[in-house]
């Protein structure tokens, strides 16, 4: 039945683990709404026939009997429609949460959209343009950002779409069921060559993916005229694979991040990066936030938005000064330090940093 409905509705193949569940909700909505429309049409047609005006009814002296509304019928219709809406919302919300919360063991890949191409960076140091290589049968978490304008990353076969915003990181995850090729489209108008901003997801068998990642075997040929230049922190890849952690160290040094932040837990002007990623920190306004990709990116682009409690407002904005690939590399560096224990006095519970009175603080 699933395959029959998919073909009737001209839907692409279901190549991810979530695609069939999303299609089931689509079938449910389509069947119910079309059935409702058919029911209204049939009832309307019966009313037209049953209550048509005849020659006798045109006599003004004859009055039609007044109809008494059935309260129970109205209640059934109202409650039924409202209940149907709530049911759809619950199913849709469950699917939304399933898409937004990746498994703990998900493979992370950084995606940058720019006019008019997709660039992919892997923590191990590999890079690609227009072609996203992933292992089949393993969850993959995409961390997406844009270099210029708003784009939208869409893989029809996976039933997944996510807007990609400049100066912000958003996430999406999927799991390809088996090896194969799948189109990538941009579904947000981003300029004159928007329609040519295409790419491919190539799902490989796990062993083939590892070989490609290590550069031991060439990647499968990509059909069509696409730019195959590699990308990295800069526009071109180094002669040998450099992990994103090392790229992050270089980017942090070049942009002066290490003047205020430390990597070994030593207290300084800004919070140490040792053990910071994944913790929940207190904010200046009394709230709290989890240190994840989104918060780190926000702190780089708009450091005054949510101030880490215990530090002064001295961090400058890096909006327009740091490339998306550098942001991703710095985040990967911070992730590599998540198990480094800060030195005594560097961090208090909840990730709140206590600053000695003799030292100035910093964001």
| Beta-carbon contacts of residue 170 (< 8 Å; ≥ 6 apart) | 143, 144, 145, 162, 163, 164, 294
User: What pLDDT does residue 54 have?
Assistant: 66
User: What pLDDT does residue 215 have?
Assistant: 72
Per-residue confidence band for 5, with pLDDT thresholds at 50, 70 and 90: confident
> pLDDT tens across 148-183, in order?
899 999 999 999 999 999 888 888 999 999 998 999
| 250 pLDDT higher than 60 | yes
Q: Distance (Å, rounded) from C-alpha 5 to C-alpha 26?
A: 10
| Beta-carbon contacts of residue 29 (< 8 Å; ≥ 6 apart) | 88
| 101 pLDDT higher than 80 | yes
Q: Which residue has the higher pLDDT, 295 or 61?
A: 295
User: What pLDDT does residue 225 have?
Assistant: 37
Of 22-26, 203-207, 241-245, the range with the lowest mean pLDDT is 241-245
Q: Which two tokens stand for residue 353?
A: 């940093």
Distances in Å between the Cα of 151 and the Cα atoms of 128, 146, 155, 161, 329 are 18, 7, 13, 11, 21
| 333 pLDDT higher than 70 | yes
- For the CA atoms of 242, 245, 246, 247, the dihedral, rounded to the nearest 10 degrees, stands at 80
Q: Which two tokens stand for residue 7?
A: 């073909």
pLDDT above 90 covers what percent of the chain? 16
* 19 burial level (CB within 10 Å; 0-12, 13-18, 19+): buried
């Amino acid at each position: 039945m699933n395959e029959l409905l998919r073909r009737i509705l001209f839907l692409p193949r279901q190549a991810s683990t979530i695609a069939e569940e999303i299609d089931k909700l689509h079938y449910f909505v389509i069947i119910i709404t079309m059935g409702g429309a058919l029911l209204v049409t049939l009832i309307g047609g019966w009313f037209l026939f049953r209550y048509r005006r005849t020659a006798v009814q045109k006599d003004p002296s004859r009055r039609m009997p007044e109809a008494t509304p059935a309260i129970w019928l109205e209640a059934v219709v109202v409650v039924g429609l409202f209940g149907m809406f709530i049911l759809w919302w619950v199913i849709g919300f469950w699917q939304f949460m399933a898409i937004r919360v990746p498994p703990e063991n998900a493979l992370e890949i950084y995606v940058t959209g720019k006019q008019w191409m997709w660039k992919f960076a892997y923590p191990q140091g590999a890079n690609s343009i227009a072609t996203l290589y992933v292992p089949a049968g393993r969850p993959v978490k995409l961390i997406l950002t844009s270099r210029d304008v708003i784009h939208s990353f869409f893989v029809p076969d996976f039933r997944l779409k996510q807007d990609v915003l400049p100066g912000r990181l958003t996430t999406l995850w999927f799991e390809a069921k088996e090896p194969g090729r799948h189109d990538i489209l941009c579904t947000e108008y981003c300029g004159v060559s928007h329609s040519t901003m295409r790419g491919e997801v190539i799902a490989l068998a796990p062993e083939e993916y590892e070989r490609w990642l290590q550069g031991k075997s060439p990647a499968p040929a990509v059909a069509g005229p696409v730019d195959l230049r590699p990308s990295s922190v800069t526009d071109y890849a180094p002669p040998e694979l450099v992990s994103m952690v090392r790229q992050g160290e270089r980017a942090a040094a070049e942009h002066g991040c290490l003047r205020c932040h430390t990597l070994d837990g030593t207290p300084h002007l800004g919070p140490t990066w040792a053990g910071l990623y994944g913790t929940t920190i207190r904010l200046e306004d009394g709230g709290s936030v989890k240190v994840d990709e989104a918060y780190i990116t926000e702190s780089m682009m708009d450091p005054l938005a949510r101030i880490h409690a215990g530090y002064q407002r001295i961090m400058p904005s890096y909006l327009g000064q740091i490339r998306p690939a550098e942001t991703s590399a710095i985040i990967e560096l911070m992730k590599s330090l998540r198990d480094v224990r800060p030195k005594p006095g560097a961090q208090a519970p909840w990730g709140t940093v206590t600053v000695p009175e003799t030292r100035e603080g910093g964001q």
